[in-house]
Amino acid sequence: MQDFPDLLNNRILLIAIFSCLLAQVLKVIIELVWHRKINFRTLVETGGMPSAHSALVTSLATGIGQTSGWASGDFAIAFCFAIIVMYDAAGVRQAAGKQARILNQMVDELFHENPTFNEARLKELLGHTPVQVIAGSLLGVIVSWIAAPAY
């Protein structure tokens, strides 16, 4: 615990977290613009525009590249980590969401006459579209570049 104050002095980490939080706030604003209603649940839900996961990892990788150098091993690790996270967000988790949607539809159709069947519905919005991932990535890079003089 004696090193906890060091976390608060880690500018790269703080800017990456800020990028993630900004993406979550933007989801509320985008929801308001697109659907004309405020939905604060988007602050804590997965999925949506832009990808907060992508904003976090690209901001982190950009900050490491800016401070440690683009040819450093630290940047290489952060870059690979970012690619894996973004692939998972747009690939694996998106596919799981599609499967959940189909399973929910099957349950609705098979058990609509049997009201005693009350299993919880599967969460359908798990992942991101490629556009949402790209938007989150751009947000993370932009926030990191804007904050670069603070490094």
Query: For position 101, what pLDDT does the model report?
Result: 73
Domain count, the chain: 1
| Average pLDDT over every residue of 3-10 | 85
Residues with Cβ within 8 Å of residue 148, at least 6 apart in sequence: 63, 66
Distance CA 34, CA 57 (A): 26
Q: From the DSSP assignment, how many helices (H) and strands (E) are in the chain?
A: 6, 0
| Average pLDDT over every residue of 77-102 | 82
Residue 38, Ramachandran bin (φ over 0: left; ψ between -120 and 50: alpha; else beta): beta
Q: Please give the structure tokens belonging to residue 76.
A: 């290489």
| Average pLDDT over every residue of 89-107 | 71
Query: For position 62, what pLDDT does the model report?
Result: 97
21-25, 92-96, 117-121: which has the highest mean pLDDT?
21-25
* 57 band by pLDDT with thresholds 50, 70 and 90: very high
* 116 band by pLDDT with thresholds 50, 70 and 90: low
Say whether pLDDT at 68 is over 80: yes
Distance CA 58, CA 150 (A): 17
Distance CA 149, CA 15 (A): 12
Q: List Cα–Cα distances, 114 to 19, 103, 105, 111, 118, in angstroms.
A: 46, 17, 15, 5, 9
Query: For position 38, what pLDDT does the model report?
Result: 85
Distance CA 53, CA 47 (A): 9
Residues with Cβ within 8 Å of residue 17, at least 6 apart in sequence: 56
* 24: containing domain: 4-150
Mean pLDDT, the chain, rounded, equals 84
Say whether pLDDT at 39 is over 90: no
